[in-house]
Structure 1
Amino acid sequence: MPYFWYGLSSLSVITAGCKKDDMVNPAATQEIKMEIIPVSDTLRQVIASHTLLTASHPWYIDGWVYVTNEASLRVEAGAVVNILPTTVNKQDGCYSGGLVITRGAHIVAEGTAALPIRMRVEKVAGHGPSGLLVLGRAPVRKGFTPFHELTFGGNLPEDSSGVIRHLHLDYYPAAGKGFEGGVLLLGTGNKTVTEAVAAHALPVERSDLKTGKLR
């Protein structure tokens, strides 16, 4: 995927406790010296470097895109991100997609009340679970395994996966048990900040509902 570079002297990731206060924890502050802005407006597969999604034009997530390598994905206030589900299981025709913030990586999506960040899952036939998944390194209760394909949890209760403020996500719910879509935090520590995050399930026709698994 082509990119161009966006220089920063530094970027502080603000973290807070589980009470969602705004106190800065210097020990948890992450310094980012350089970010990249993708040249293509469509993101695919893996984001492995510090990346910035600006509010200057819409962005598109093709299938599942994973933020890895302890990279940080920053999304500007007012940005629009469209999720384009793809077939993950050809046998059942299930379509799904979205962003996965893996353990050690961060998301910094700080919208405002006036300029929220908007994410929307495009409508397709045979919806599987789509949306935003944030995976952390904090302890999870024993036996809690909603996804066998993903690695999350650990022994860092004060882990931070970043900041998500004023984010609106519209999605079409999948049929079946478990995660239907939307925003899901798994093993994120008490330094992860979430505030004014809203996931809205859109109406679907019965013929559009099929059971699927995230792969």
Structure 2
Amino acid sequence: MTREEIILWWKALVAFLFMVATMCLSMLTSCTDEDELFDRENTEALPSVISEDKTLYSDTEYLMSKPVFVTNGATLTIQRGALLKALPASGQGKAALVITKGCKIVANGTEDTPIIMTALVKEPGSWDGVIVLGKAPVSYECETIYSGAVATDISYGGSEENDDSGSLQFVRVEYAGAAGGAVTFDGVGWGTAIDHCQSYYSGSDGFMFNGGTVNARYLISTGASRNGLCFNEGYTGKLQYVMATAPTPKSVWSVVSCNGNGESEEVAFYTHPVIANLSTAHDNKPHGQQYPIAVSARSRLTLVNSSTREAVADDDIPVQLIGGQPETLPGIDYILINATGEVSSLTPDKFVLDAFFERTDYEGAVAPDVEKDKDWTKAEWVKRK
């Protein structure tokens, strides 16, 4: 046997052993709750590039060991009940599902059969998560999200406010957030449908909105290590029914964070989300500068019928507050907290909601008198600790 033949033999053996190890690791997690939704008879490793329309089925477990890019205008359709699982990185960067500009993801689960994207290693930051790149305005153009990526177009942003990047409905993303948000919308437009999505124990932000105009309802960020929701780069969308819980006491971040990040002083380029029926929960322990809501330069925030206890904002940066009780809402322009840790001496502004918002007469993400079986934060698709 020649030297070259020996080398080829060893390479084949290593590849075979890696495949066997991957299958064994997958089998070790085959009895989790998400696997019991369907009898998954097949396993498929997703390629690094999906350049034509593809459907992911509920009877197959899809494995990602590296970034997966949907390119060339393709649509990735994911059936209800489908399971995607990120494997430990194999030298090409941590796993991620990236929908590039001009492509679509159509991931429509249901309340009893959600789409689950998780990791083999059940720890925050085990993979990057889901990243959707759109054509809607941002405060400045970003050219790449991964260095050395294999995709042909990894920029985002443009002039199409109604850009349609598909839909995410009844989707749960677990243990993601290795580098950014577990679920990230970069320059995504309001033509995209987002509702009933959960980020579960992200290693960074739960949901990240970088520019764009996309709207969303029924979002839950559970235990993100950084911010539950983070808004940057001129994001101007609307959210309603949002629950964000702070992570472990080790965190020094905010549950909700608004940042300008752009270079323009024009108000049109300011980050300005409008959020109705937001509830935040945090441990409020003296381990760092953690506040439920933080607003920085070149950004605005409008809260409607929302409930939280503290907030921080840069000097002269307005936080607009609508409805609710003064003692449960954050201050305007500066920290305004009394000795008991509650905000005081605040009169909310008047505000007219547009057609996106449903009318409510209560504060927070859930009506106080709702029956337990009708509480959307306790539905079957939601994972609790």
Q: Give the TM-score normalised by the residue count of structure 1.
A: 0.64
Matched, 1:139 2:137: yes
Please name the residue that 2:107 is paired with. Answer: 109
Describe the shift of the 1:202–1:122 C-alpha distance in structure 2 as closer, same or farther (beyond 3 A). farther
Amino acid at match of 2:59: S
Structure showing the higher strand proportion among its residues: 1
Of 116-125 and 188-197, deviating more is 116-125
1: CA distance, partners of 2:192 / 2:124? 33
CA distance in 2, matches of 1:78, 1:132: 17
Of 140, 151, 168 in structure 2, the residue corresponding to residue 164 of structure 1 is: 168
Q: Cα offset for 1:147?
A: 3.5
Distance 1:72 1:116, change over 3 A: same
Contact 1:58–1:79 (CA under 8 A) maintained in structure 2: yes
Name 1:50's counterpart in structure 2: 53
Name the residue aligned to 2:73. Answer: 70
- Note if contact 1:63-1:98 (Cα within 8 Å) is conserved in structure 2: yes
Counterpart CA distance in 2 for 1:52 and 1:145 is: 28
Cα distance in structure 2, aligned partners of 1:59 and 1:72: 17
Deviations 1:68-121 (A, max 9, x none): 0000000000011101242557xxxxx511100000000000000011000102
Counterpart of 1:14 in structure 2 is: none
Q: Deviations over 1:180-200 (max 9, x none)?
A: x41101001110111011111
- DSSP 3-state at the match of 2:197: strand
Q: Give 1 or 2 for the bigger CA radius of gyration.
A: 2
Amino acid aligned to 2:198: A
The CA distance in 1 between the partners of 2:90 and 2:63, in whole Å, is 16
- What is the letter of the counterpart of residue 49 of structure 2? V
**Aligned runs of 1:7-26 on 2, under 5 Å?**
none
Q: Secondary structure at the match of 2:77?
A: strand
Indicate the RMSD between aligned Cα atoms, in angstroms.
Answer: 2.8
Q: Write the mapping of 1:81-96 to structure 2, written as runs, cut at 5 A.
A: 81-87=84-90, 95-96=93-94
Name the counterpart of 2:193: 193
Q: Which amino acid aligns with 1:104?
A: G
- Report the structure, 1 or 2, having the larger helix content: 2
How does the TM-score come out when normalised to structure 2?
Answer: 0.37
> Post-superposition shift, 1:141?
1.7
Distance 1:105 1:41, change over 3 A: same
- Of 148-157 and 107-116, the range deviating more from structure 2: 148-157
Q: Map residues 108-127 of structure 1 onto 2, 5 A cutoff.
A: 108-123=106-121, 127=125
CA-to-aligned-CA distance 1:38-84 (integer Å, 9 cap, x gap): x9610121001100000012111221000000000000000111012
Contact preservation (8 Å) 1:96, 1:127: no
Letter in 2 for 1:138: A
Sort the Cα spacing of 1:146 and 1:162 in 2 relative to 1 into closer, same or farther, 3 A: same
> Which amino acid is the alignment partner of residue 56 of structure 1?
D
User: 3-state SS of the aligned residue for 1:158?
Assistant: coil
- Separation in 2 of the partners of 1:128 and 1:146? 22
Q: Which whole-Å deviations, capped at 9, do the CAs of 1:2-44 have from their partners, x for residues lacking one?
A: xxxxxxxxxxxxxxxxxxxxxxxxxxxxxxxxxxxxx961012
Q: Return closer, same or farther for 1:87/1:40 CA change in 2, 3 Å cut-off.
A: closer
| Structure 1 pair 73–154 and aligned structure 2 pair: CA distance change class (3 A) | same
Counterparts of 1:166-185 in structure 2, within 5 Å, are: 166-174=170-178, 179=180, 181-185=181-185
- State the distance in 1 between where 2:103 and 2:196 align: 22
The SS at the match of 1:152 is coil
Q: Which amino acid aligns with 1:130?
A: D
In the aligned structure 2, how far is the partner of 1:112 from the partner of 1:40?
Answer: 23
Whether the 8 Å CA contact 2:129–2:182 is kept in 1: the answer is: yes
Who is 1:61 aligned against?
64
Percent of pairs identical after alignment? 29
Task: List per-residue Cα deviations over 1:104-148 (Å, max 9, x = no partner).
Answer: 000000000011000102329995751000000111123778937
- Structure 1 residue ranges (4+ consecutive) displaced by more than 4 angstroms after TM superposition: 124-129, 143-146
Using CA pairs under 8 Å that are at least 6 residues apart, name the structure with larger relative contact order, 1 or 2: 1
What's 2:96 paired with?
98
State the secondary structure of the residue aligned to 1:44.
coil
